[in-house]
Amino acid sequence: MLLAFLPKGVDMPFLMLKCNRKLPGRGKHCIAKSEEDIIPACDRATQPGDFTERACSFLGCRIVICGQIDNVIHLVHSPIGCAYYSWDYRPDSYGYCFTTDMQEMDVIFGGEKKLFDAILMAAEEFDADAIFVYETCTTGLIGDDILAVARKASEVVGKPVIAFNCAGFRGVSQSAGHKIANRQLFELIGTGEFDSTPYDINLIGDFNAKDAEVIENLLNEIGVRVLCSFTANSTIDRIRNMHKAKLNVVHCSRSSMDLAEMMKREYGIPYIEANFFGIGHCCDALRKIGKALGIDEKKVEEVIENYLNKIKSELEFYRGKLEGKKVFICHGVQRVLYLIEPFRELGMEIVGIATYFGKQDDYEKIVKRVGEGTIIIDNPNATELEEVLLECKPDLFISDDRTEHLVHKLGIPFIKGRGQRRAYAGFNGFVNFASDVYATINSRVWGLVRSVSEG
């Protein structure tokens, strides 16, 4: 059915969408999975003029990685825009906005002095554990040496001042910003002193505080202590002690694998990839972590068994109601990879996938995990999504706020993949998720949306 809108003469498996007809560059980014395991073109700069959902490396650094760290002053060295828009970008976050508010004269004569003064003022006025300084397009272009300013200021204020060269024009997407953030924060690791146990781990690459809390508690039950959730629920002190862990559990490898690699090289800490979304993933994660730390297998199985019994009947109810429903997933690539299996566990069919900044190995994994005919789009834009959704009419679209209102205007049930009001990770979290998916799809309002003839 999904292949229906492939016009004759176009080679499988590339999808020639109507909106892309005159834009051959985009054609190769959209495929329907075929036997040949071809992946969409990816990891390329956005085509100029696209209504892309991608962001810049400043977002990847300032909001995704650094924004979650508690009690830090995030000083954005920029004209007002970057600072204002990154201020509580996530609806559930709450913090102050600090900016050098660069003016025309500062752009002409340089803003290093202004930045230095701002760091000193911020340190004097607010009691924070550290001050993070972010470069943006303008301050990057005029060549302000924020690393040097931060070094000098750190000596004066006597606390860490960490600078990030994350100007928005660096890299093809926010993904570049993750690396910049990790590289700088790595410098903090190993500066703390602390007595560790053989059962201490770090959770790397989880950026949702509610999920991180649930995962930490779950791991406690098998006798594992999380030293630091990097960066949800993290503090400067927790990051300083990360080198004391016996194992790193990498949750989002796209954003955090480089940090795990650096820690392996520098401190000899091994890492495994695992995630806690969905029943299968959750069991695997507990078993893998248990095995890596030499925890009694029986203890781990007991915990798993206990949870499975508790949630069994509820999950069966939701599975019965959701069986066969079609879902379209549009997210950062890691969340896409985590969502495929859990939706299967709910009996749902994946009809389409779109990711903002997946790379070749990510798409290879995705293609292996989905059924034939599944649509896969790299770096989707609003016009493409609209066309595809009207064609494949999913029962549910799962994404983040970028696409929420477009999907709503198409009358398609929408849910956010990040649990905002409650956690989606862990066993109970998955029941929360199933119940939200069920409630979304079955909301009466979708049936009240009228169709009218155009005119």
CB under 8 A: which stretch of 34-42, 205-213, 290-298, 409-417 binds another protein? 409-417
In the bound state with another protein, the residue whose beta carbon lies nearer, of 118 and 263, is 118
| Residue closest to 240 by CA, chosen among 271, 196, 270 | 196
Query: Residue 194 interacts with another protein (CB under 8 A)?
Result: no
Query: Residue 432 interacts with another protein (CB under 8 A)?
Result: no
Query: Residue 16 interacts with another protein (CB under 8 A)?
Result: no
> In this chain, which of 37, 409, 442, 443 binds another protein, going by CB under 8 A?
409
Q: Are 76 and 91 in contact (CB under 8 A)?
A: no
Q: Are 440 and 396 in contact (CB under 8 A)?
A: yes
Interacting positions 231-250 with another protein (CB under 8 A): none
The Cα–Cα gap between 230 and 242 comes to 9
Query: Residue 100 interacts with another protein (CB under 8 A)?
Result: yes
Query: Residue 297 interacts with another protein (CB under 8 A)?
Result: no
In the bound state with another protein, the residue whose beta carbon lies nearer, of 135 and 216, is 135
- 291-321 per-residue burial string, b: 16 or more CB within 10 A, e: under 16: ebbebeeeebeebbeebeeebeeebeebeee
Alpha helices in 126-161, H assignment, sequence order? 137-141, 146-157
User: Structure tokens of 423?
Assistant: 């956690």
CB under 8 A: which stretch of 54-62, 245-253, 294-302, 415-423 binds another protein? 54-62
Q: How crowded is residue 94: how many other Cβ atoms within 10 Å of its Cβ?
A: 7
- Order of strands, edge to edge, in the sheet holding 225-231? 225-231, 200-206, 247-250, 271-273
Query: Residue 157 interacts with another protein (CB under 8 A)?
Result: no
Interacting positions 323-342 with another protein (CB under 8 A): none
> In this chain, which of 85, 186, 267, 317 binds another protein, going by CB under 8 A?
85
CB under 8 A: which stretch of 96-104, 266-274, 333-341, 391-399 binds another protein? 96-104
Interacting positions 104-123 with another protein (CB under 8 A): 104, 106-107, 114, 117-118, 121-122
Query: Residue 207 interacts with another protein (CB under 8 A)?
Result: no
Smallest gap from residue 125 Cβ to another protein (A): 8
The Cα–Cα gap between 440 and 435 comes to 8
Q: Are 289 and 222 in contact (CB under 8 A)?
A: yes
Smallest gap from residue 122 Cβ to another protein (A): 6
Query: Residue 3 interacts with another protein (CB under 8 A)?
Result: no
Smallest gap from residue 363 Cβ to another protein (A): 21
Residues binding another protein: what is the number (CB under 8 A)?
76
User: Structure tokens of 153?
Assistant: 């200021």
The Cα–Cα gap between 6 and 34 comes to 13
In the bound state with another protein, the residue whose beta carbon lies nearer, of 230 and 356, is 356
Alpha helices in 63-195, H assignment, sequence order? 80-86, 104-109, 112-125, 137-141, 146-157, 175-186
User: Structure tokens of 235?
Assistant: 């503090």
Smallest gap from residue 253 Cβ to another protein (A): 23
Query: Residue 101 interacts with another protein (CB under 8 A)?
Result: yes
Smallest gap from residue 84 Cβ to another protein (A): 5
Smallest gap from residue 248 Cβ to another protein (A): 29
Interacting positions 366-405 with another protein (CB under 8 A): 382-383, 386, 401-402, 404-405
Smallest gap from residue 165 Cβ to another protein (A): 12
In the bound state with another protein, the residue whose beta carbon lies nearer, of 146 and 282, is 146
Query: Residue 48 interacts with another protein (CB under 8 A)?
Result: yes
In the bound state with another protein, the residue whose beta carbon lies nearer, of 107 and 147, is 107
Smallest gap from residue 117 Cβ to another protein (A): 7
- Order of strands, edge to edge, in the sheet holding 414-416? 30-32, 375-378, 349-355, 326-331, 396-399, 414-416
> In this chain, which of 196, 408, 439, 443 binds another protein, going by CB under 8 A?
408
Q: What is the dihedral of CA 448, 451, 452, 454, to 10 degrees?
A: 140
Query: Residue 142 interacts with another protein (CB under 8 A)?
Result: yes
Query: Residue 355 interacts with another protein (CB under 8 A)?
Result: no
Smallest gap from residue 357 Cβ to another protein (A): 11
Smallest gap from residue 387 Cβ to another protein (A): 10
Hey, which bits of 166-239 come out as E strands?
Answer: 200-206, 225-231
The Cα–Cα gap between 180 and 124 comes to 27
Query: Residue 53 interacts with another protein (CB under 8 A)?
Result: yes
Q: What is the 3-state secondary structure (H, E, C) of 355-403?
A: ECCCCHHHHHHHHHHCCCCCEEEECCEHHHHHHHHHHHCCCEEEECHHH
In the bound state with another protein, the residue whose beta carbon lies nearer, of 17 and 303, is 17
> In this chain, which of 13, 160, 171, 290 binds another protein, going by CB under 8 A?
171
**Contact residues for 19 (Cβ-Cβ < 8 A; gap 6+):** 383, 384, 386, 387
| Residue closest to 173 by CA, chosen among 46, 56, 50 | 56
Interacting positions 19-38 with another protein (CB under 8 A): 19, 22-23
Q: Are 337 and 254 in contact (CB under 8 A)?
A: no
